[in-house]
Amino acid sequence: MSPSPGPTRQPHIVVRFAVATLAAFVLVGAVGMVLMVRYARERAERAGAFHAAFVASSILAPALSGLDLSRPITGDDAARVRELVNERILANGRDVRIKVWRFDGTIVFSDAPSLVGKRFPEEAAELAEVVAGHPEMGISDLDDAENVAERGLADKLLFAYVPLRIEPGGRVVAVAELYQDYAVIQEDIDAFVARMLPLLVVGLLVLYAAILPIAMRISAELRRRNERLAELLEREQQTVAELRDLAKKKDDFVSAASHELRTPLTSIRGSLATLK
* For residue 100, pLDDT beyond 90: yes
The whole-number pLDDT of residue 158 equals 92
| Interval 13-48: pLDDT, tens | 777 778 888 888 889 889 989 999 999 999 999 999
| Interval 61-81: pLDDT, tens | 999 998 999 899 999 999 999
Distance CA 63, CA 81 (A): 6
Distance CA 148, CA 112 (A): 12
Nearest 5 degrees, angle CA 121-CA 127-CA 129?
130
Positive or negative torsion for Cα 260, 265, 271, 273: negative
Residue type, 193: V
Query: What is the average pLDDT across 178-182?
Result: 92
Average of per-residue pLDDT values in the chain: 85
Distance CA 167, CA 175 (A): 14
Query: What is the average pLDDT across 106-122?
Result: 92
What the chain holds in terms of domains, given with CATH numbers, is 13-197 (3.30.450.20)
Beta bridge partners of 6: none
The whole-number pLDDT of residue 3 equals 46
Range of lowest pLDDT (66-80, 198-212, 251-265): 251-265
For strands 174-181 and 95-101, give the pairing: antiparallel
Q: What is the DSSP string of 156-208?
A: SEEEEEEEE-SSTTS---EEEEEEEEHHHHHHHHHHHHHHHHHHHHHHHHHHH
Q: Decide: helix, strand or coil at residue 153.
A: coil
The whole-number pLDDT of residue 139 equals 86
Provide the whole-model pTM.
Answer: 0.68
